[in-house]
Chain A
Amino acid sequence: MDGYLITILSNIGMVSFVALSAYILLLSGQISFGQQAYFGIGAYVAGIATVMWQWPLAGALLFGSLAAGAAAGLVGLATLRLSGIYFAMATLAFAEIMRIAAELFVYRRDIGGIESGPDGVDGFRDIRYFFANEFSPLETCLIVYALLATVLAILCIIERTRAGRMLRQIGEDPLLAEVHGINVMSVRMIAALAAGAVAGLGGGLYAHLMTYVEPKSFDIMLGVHALAYGLIGGLGTAFGPILGVLIDIGLLESTRIFHGYRMIVFGGLVAVLLIVRPRGLLDEVAVSRIRRALRRRRDAGD
Chain B
Amino acid sequence: MQENITLLQYFKRYFKRCITGPWSLMCGLSVSLKYFFDPRRIVTEQYPENRKTLRMHPRYRGRLEMIEDADGNNHCTACGMCERACPNASINVLSTKNIAGKKVLGRYVYHFASCTQCGLCVEACPFGAIRMNQDFEVATTDPNTLEMILNKKEGQG
The yes or no verdict on A and B being binding partners is no
B interface with A by C-beta (< 8 Å):
none
A interface with B by C-beta (< 8 Å):
none
